[in-house]
Amino acid sequence: MNSIIQRLIRGNGAYAEDTVKKISRHMLAEEGQEPKVLIITCSDSRVIPEEVFSLSMGEALVMRNAGGRITEDVLEDVKFFTHEFASIQAIILMGHSQCGYYEYAVKNGIGVEPLVVECLKKKFSELELVNHISKMKVAEGLVKLEKIVPSNIKLRGAMYYIRTGIVEF
């Protein structure tokens, strides 16, 4: 069998046996979940929201796609989650440094105006350019989210830096 699949099976065995996690799972299975935060971010393997914020099972709902884009589907899911879980106090839209999706988007002119990119290229190095576009996309995403997120829920943008592990809100 493929070695990564074997690694997943071994990893799951260890997870299922972990006593602390076992207790949490039993509690969450019986009492249901009351997640306090919804985190929307990129699928990048270096961005692990639960680890980044030291969160445990049951604390966060996490939605990820390439770039952490706010698409129509994402908006539908956000509507569902905020309707379903009165426990949600905040929604975080988190971009990250060195995002491969925005590197690709810039190169292929997807979702980013070529004219805007040309202007930004004069101001930023290539790495800074991609980070800047990630931040711009967070700001754009927040505008879309604002329209559907109930006012009692805090909506915040954030940027996670892979090298330092620091999240800037």
Interface residue list for Zn ion (CB under 5 A)? 42, 44, 99, 101
Nearer to Zn ion, 44 or 120 (CB): 44
Nearer to Zn ion, 117 or 153 (CB): 117
| Smallest distance, Zn ion to C-beta of residue 160, A | 10
Nearer to Zn ion, 84 or 168 (CB): 168
| Smallest distance, Zn ion to C-beta of residue 37, A | 20
Nearer to Zn ion, 35 or 67 (CB): 67
**What would the 3-class secondary structure string for the chain be?**
CCHHHHHHHHHHHHHHHCHHHHHHHHHHHHHCCCCCEEEEEECCCCCCHHHHCCCCCCCEEEEEEHHHCCCHHHHHHHHHHHHHCCCCCEEEEEEECCCHHHHHHHHHCCCCCHHHHHHHHHHCCHHHHHHHHHHHHHHHHHHHHHCCCCCCCEEEEEEECCCCCCEEC
Nearer to Zn ion, 88 or 95 (CB): 95
| Smallest distance, Zn ion to C-beta of residue 116, A | 19
| Smallest distance, Zn ion to C-beta of residue 119, A | 23
| Smallest distance, Zn ion to C-beta of residue 95, A | 8
